[in-house]
Structure 1
């Protein structure tokens, strides 16, 4: 993974230069299948059909940014909401982002358990 000093958001932008694909969602309600290794988002975006919203199919990560709507100071309010109360899950997914993940750094294992349940955006019709 890239720069470990920079924290990453596991629900990030598809279009940030550093964006990575962590998982591919199967169907609108299916769980994400985490990739064996992260893939540059630019490569995956080039393979999507025109008009397909990337976040509908891809679980993306990008750097946490100061202007994020889910940020309050140094806290990710989304991670806080996801882990209160702590989710119930058998095991967190295998994830290459974890060592640099803002959610993991802030909330620990409960964030990893909740992560597969998060959709960056509600699926809607493709254009």
Structure 2
């Protein structure tokens, strides 16, 4: 099967690493208080070996992964848009002056939906955070439709 990051499919840049066909497109760096994603030049498939290397942390603490956007199967999808992407754009500060060197951008749901404004905030998004601020908790919490 062709790598999902090179197929003509919409990708969720906040997919769980366990989702089956996910790829790593970034590694969490920075600090606990100010995490930043270091983007990979090429997305890498999530493998059992890669997951094992993250131990004792969870893979989602260390890697940013993308997988097929499951639309209606996701708690953040409202039938048309990704509400997580909307909340990120509406609530999080810009953390970069330039578009990050993201290898999944052309297929990214957030890019397709929110454009550059999502990309300028994306480097601070970490999937598993154990001490999130109230702002991060509010942004990540699904809203009732």
| TM norm structure 1 | 0.85
Task: Give CA-to-partner distance per residue, 1:47-94, whole Å, 9 cap, x none.
Answer: 332x42111111111111121111100200011111126843311210
Q: Does 2:144 correspond to 1:115? A: no
* Contact 1:86–1:110 (CA under 8 A) maintained in structure 2: no
1:5-44 matched pairs, under 5 angstroms: 6-26=9-29, 27-28=31-32, 29-42=34-47, 43-44=49-50
Query: How many residues get paired?
Result: 122
| TM norm structure 2 | 0.75
Closer, same or farther: CA 82–30 of 1 in aligned 2, 3 Å:
closer
Q: CA deviation at 1:46?
A: 3.5
Q: Could you list the runs of 5+ residues in structure 1 that have no partner in the other structure?
A: none
**Higher RCO, 1 vs 2 (CA within 8 Å, ≥6 residues apart):** 1
Q: Report the Cα distance in structure 1 between the residues aligned to 2:121 and 2:79, rounded to whole angstroms.
A: 22
Q: What secondary structure, in the 3-state scheme, does the structure 1 residue paired with 2:35 have?
A: coil
Which of 2, 6, 18 is residue 6 of structure 2 equivalent to? 2
Larger relative helix fraction: 2
* Contact 1:11–1:60 (CA under 8 A) maintained in structure 2: yes
Q: Which residue of structure 2 lines up, in the alignment, with residue 76 of structure 1? A: 82
Q: CA deviation at 1:104?
A: 0.4
Q: Could you list the runs of 5+ residues in structure 2 that have no partner in the other structure?
A: 132-145
User: CA-atom RMSD, angstroms?
Assistant: 1.9
* Contact 2:28–2:126 (CA under 8 A) maintained in structure 1: no
